[in-house]
Structures are given as structure tokens and as C-alpha cells.
Amino acid sequence: MESAEGYVPGLWQSTGRINVRYAIISLMKRELMDILACPVCKGELKLTVTEENKKEIVSGSLFCAQCNYTYPIEETIPNLLPPSKTN
């Protein structure tokens, strides 16, 4: 994989598998809202920002109204694991 902003070298080796969302979309930016969708239903996500700096969203959440589920954004990383994978 070519170098990309937010790419985490060695993620494959350290975990045995790669989480594409984490490896490629590790910095949450407003521009990503055009391409992000709920990983379960593919519906629209509503962004709520708690903290933001000049480059990215530091903390907040992404809410899917169809699934009634909130995905957290912590330390600039959106956690888009489906609810069934978080338990």
C-alpha cells in the first residue's frame, strides 16, 4: 500500500489483519462526511463535533438515525465498528 495520510505502517503485522477504516481513515475531517456511511445500513451519518482543531475533528460522534446508533470519534479516529462487533 502506498503512503497515505493516516496510514499506520505495521498494522497488518501487529494484529494479523488490517482494519481498513482505521488504517486509511484515521484522521476525521469534515470532507469525509461526503463519503462516510453507516457500516450496517449504508445510511447517512450525522456529525456532532465536541472538539475540533484547524486540521481535523478531535472528538465527537457520528449518528445513524436508521439504526439509532452512535459511532464515537476519539482522538481524531472515528470508530465505525458495527454494534455487533463492539461487544
Segment 46-83, tens digit of pLDDT: 999 999 998 899 999 999 999 999 999 999 999 999 88
Total Cβ atoms within 10 A of residue 50: 12
What pTM was estimated for this model as a whole? Answer: 0.68
pLDDT digits (tens, 9 = 90+) for 4-49: 444 444 444 444 444 444 444 457 898 889 999 999 999 999 999 9
Domain locations in the chain as residue ranges: 27-86
